[in-house]
Structure 1
Amino acid sequence: MLAPCPSRTPDDLKPRWMGHFCGLCLELRDDAGHLARLTTNYDALALSVLVEAQLDASDSRDAGPCALRGMRRQTVATGAGPRLAATASLLLASAKLRDHVEDGDGIASRPGARGLAGMTADRLRAKAVGLGESIGLDVEPLVAAIAGQREAEAACGTGTALTDITAPTEAATAGLFAHAAVVAGRPENAGALRAAGAAFGRLAHLLDAAEDFDEDAAKGAWNPLAATGTGVEGARPLVRGALADLRAALESASLLDRTMTGLLLERYAHHAVSRTFGSTCATYPAAERREYRRYRERRRDRRDYYDHDRYRPEPRNFFAGLCAFTVLCCTCQMCCRERYEGPWSRRPRQGCCRDGCDCCECDCCPCGCD
């Protein structure tokens, strides 16, 4: 949800965003090993940013050249903020792997990969527990909340409230957000940040469900919007409400610097909602908005092909993709090259440090509003 958006990020904030991103990546490396850097999660940066926003002076250090930054130096965030973000990244990666193992899909569906995926999930969880203890965070309630997601989904049926499905996600993110106040030494903000975390979790869960709705329907996979009979359009009011709740909770918190929180938790989150659900301009007919969104999806799909719609290369298997990923990382192509071939999917991708990005095209709404 909070993926980088260069065209919507002021130039003076790009180094600060990269400082939090690199701080999280290096924290994962130092506490869980190099492979743990693959779990770096954009949404977890919100925790690092929230901790910094409550401090008079944030902790930072100058990091040396890194291949993923094009061998450039960078001032990176350090301290409790990146540690909290790293804990969240490890927990999310562990939960996702565990879901694949239990469902027998994704990476766990490949021969011989299920046992390895289960071992990796357990290791990531153990690292998250140890890292959480270092900042006074009890990870077990968060793990229990995440585990409750499967029970909530099993009890779901037509007519079930979407908030019943998103409740476990809300509880886990609320606990992480509230702890941002604790590690920053501002316990008076815990209530406001807990409410912000619940809204953030609900928003992320519903956006993910809406983005995967058509794909899940094609594969016959479970989707909360389909299982409850709500549909994508029916989820729109709840998503907009979560966005409003997130903004209100942040406004009620005593933050010393709202610059980065405004960028990530308001501008980026608002853009994610507009990108997924389209504009809500009342002067434009809903049917035409839906047709325009389908047109946008067709355009996005066409970018997945190389030169024409008749050719798409076969995806690489896990080990061949891992080799390609290593080469792309070590040669800085994933961050600095304008276009490169995805290591596993082999679809065209663009480097994260490029000058522009496809997610910020100006024609996201035919009536001119975003």
Structure 2
Amino acid sequence: MFGYVTAYEPELKVKEFHKYKGYYCGLCQQLKRDYGHLGQLTLTYDMTFLIIILTSLYEKEPDVTRGRCKVHPFKKQLFLNNEFTEYAADMNLILAYYHLVDDWEDEHKASALIGSKALKRRVQKAIQKYPRQCRVIREELQNLSIYEKNGSTMIDEPAGCFGRLMAEIFIYREDHWAEKLRCMGFYLGKYIYIMDAYDDLDNDLKEGSYNPLKNICREPDYEERCRNMLCMMLGEASAAFEQLPLLVDIDILRNILYDGVWKRYRKLQKQKEKKTTEDQQDRKE
């Protein structure tokens, strides 16, 4: 469900692009140090955005190192790392673990059982370290599971679960900025859930899987309604974002929040346009 909050790289300056990748690679290395290669499989760009937000807000200069990895064995990469990198790595693994646990409990997927058991020992310290976040993550994933089992077609209900989950993750500490961070995380979480439902709709229809957009996908204004929902969620998240005193890496953050978040949506639109054109040509022939 992750991977939608990412940068639009062609619009980043070279220096900004390298710094953005440095945060991402720093998170990858943190996951490897803390949780091994299994932890690296949970890597997401969404958590990279959170690292940059918290780093800018709390003005915590990252440590700078360079090194090679399996993905880039011949050229040293920039690694940016600070306390928020460690936090994001813990949240990544906690989310992955609880998601696998729910998949096993709900659908009895063998892969989910194997995955959750593989992560269980690694994730216990992180769960104990962040009881507030873990309580909300677990509760909201359970609530989300209930909505999915009941086949809820009110997308605001399951999206709200993921919004509250992300809201809690965005709160590194309860302080003066917690309210704005929670608001931004909430609407970004709802955006991620709606975008994921929109992205997965065709496959879910084929496989008979749950998708809260099933009931409206045949409506003539379906595309307009989905875009309006996405715009509304991102508008609210952006409004909270602009109220935070962010200066460091502000251009990277705005690139992600105002452009990068639409990257997958634009790709899907191009695919749909291509398919429509091909279908029209087939009918003519």
Query: Which interval holds the TM-score relative to the shorter structure?
Result: 0.7 to 0.9
Matched, 1:146 2:141: yes
- Superposed displacement of residue 30, structure 1: 1.6
Matched, 1:255 2:255: no
1:215-239 C-alpha deviation (Å, 9 max, x unpaired): 100111111111xx23353332211
Once residues 32 and 185 of structure 2 are traced to their aligned partners in structure 1, the CA distance between those partners, rounded to angstroms, is: 26
**Which residue of structure 2 aligns with residue 268 of structure 1?**
260
Matched, 1:167 2:170: no
> Do 2:101 and 2:113's aligned partners in 1 also have CA atoms closer than 8 Å?
no
SS of corresponding position for 1:61: strand
> Do 2:97 and 2:119's aligned partners in 1 also have CA atoms closer than 8 Å?
yes
Match for residue 193 of structure 2 among 201, 205, 209? 205
1:65-101 C-alpha deviation (Å, 9 max, x unpaired): 2232243333322222112211221123223323442
Once residues 137 and 55 of structure 2 are traced to their aligned partners in structure 1, the CA distance between those partners, rounded to angstroms, is: 23
Cα separation, partners in 2 of 1:216 and 1:64, compared to 1, 3 Å: same
Cα separation, partners in 2 of 1:245 and 1:145, compared to 1, 3 Å: same
Tell me the C-alpha RMSD between the 2 structures: 2.7
> Do 2:5 and 2:46's aligned partners in 1 also have CA atoms closer than 8 Å?
yes
Counterparts of residues 188-199 of structure 1 (less than 5 Å): 188-199=176-187
Decide which structure has the larger Cα Rg and report it. 1
Once residues 240 and 114 of structure 1 are traced to their aligned partners in structure 2, the CA distance between those partners, rounded to angstroms, is: 34
> Do 1:91 and 1:128's aligned partners in 2 also have CA atoms closer than 8 Å?
yes
Cα separation, partners in 2 of 1:220 and 1:164, compared to 1, 3 Å: same
State the one-letter code of the partner of 1:255: L
**Which residue of structure 1 aligns with residue 283 of structure 2?**
none
State the one-letter code of the partner of 1:102: E
SS of corresponding position for 1:195: helix
Match for residue 18 of structure 2 among 15, 19, 24? 15
6-15 or 19-28: bigger deviation: 6-15
Counterparts of residues 154-303 of structure 1 (less than 5 Å): 154-158=149-153, 160=154, 162-179=155-172, 182=173, 187-226=175-214, 229-231=215-217, 232-233=222-223, 234-257=225-248, 258-276=250-268, 278=269, 293-296=271-274
SS of corresponding position for 1:255: coil
State the one-letter code of the partner of 2:117: M
- Superposed displacement of residue 4, structure 1: 5.6
- Superposed displacement of residue 26, structure 1: 1.3
Cα separation, partners in 2 of 1:33 and 1:165, compared to 1, 3 Å: same
Q: Which has the higher helix share?
A: 2
SS of corresponding position for 1:71: coil
Cα separation, partners in 2 of 1:206 and 1:138, compared to 1, 3 Å: closer
Once residues 236 and 118 of structure 2 are traced to their aligned partners in structure 1, the CA distance between those partners, rounded to angstroms, is: 36
Matched, 1:36 2:27: no
Cα separation, partners in 2 of 1:97 and 1:8, compared to 1, 3 Å: farther
Cα separation, partners in 2 of 1:114 and 1:91, compared to 1, 3 Å: closer
Once residues 87 and 230 of structure 1 are traced to their aligned partners in structure 2, the CA distance between those partners, rounded to angstroms, is: 37
**TM-score computed with the length of structure 2 as normaliser:** 0.83
State the one-letter code of the partner of 2:171: A
> Do 1:189 and 1:254's aligned partners in 2 also have CA atoms closer than 8 Å?
no
Once residues 112 and 188 of structure 2 are traced to their aligned partners in structure 1, the CA distance between those partners, rounded to angstroms, is: 31
Gaps of 5+ in 1: 279-291, 300-370
State the one-letter code of the partner of 1:295: E
> Do 2:60 and 2:82's aligned partners in 1 also have CA atoms closer than 8 Å?
no
- Superposed displacement of residue 139, structure 1: 2.2
- Superposed displacement of residue 244, structure 1: 0.8
Gaps of 5+ in 2: 278-285
1:4-55 C-alpha deviation (Å, 9 max, x unpaired): 6543433221211111111111111122223211111111111101111114
Once residues 71 and 28 of structure 1 are traced to their aligned partners in structure 2, the CA distance between those partners, rounded to angstroms, is: 21
Once residues 175 and 157 of structure 1 are traced to their aligned partners in structure 2, the CA distance between those partners, rounded to angstroms, is: 24
> Do 2:162 and 2:193's aligned partners in 1 also have CA atoms closer than 8 Å?
yes
Higher relative contact order (CA 8 A, sep 6+): 2
SS of corresponding position for 2:77: strand
Once residues 261 and 82 of structure 1 are traced to their aligned partners in structure 2, the CA distance between those partners, rounded to angstroms, is: 16
> Do 2:187 and 2:234's aligned partners in 1 also have CA atoms closer than 8 Å?
yes
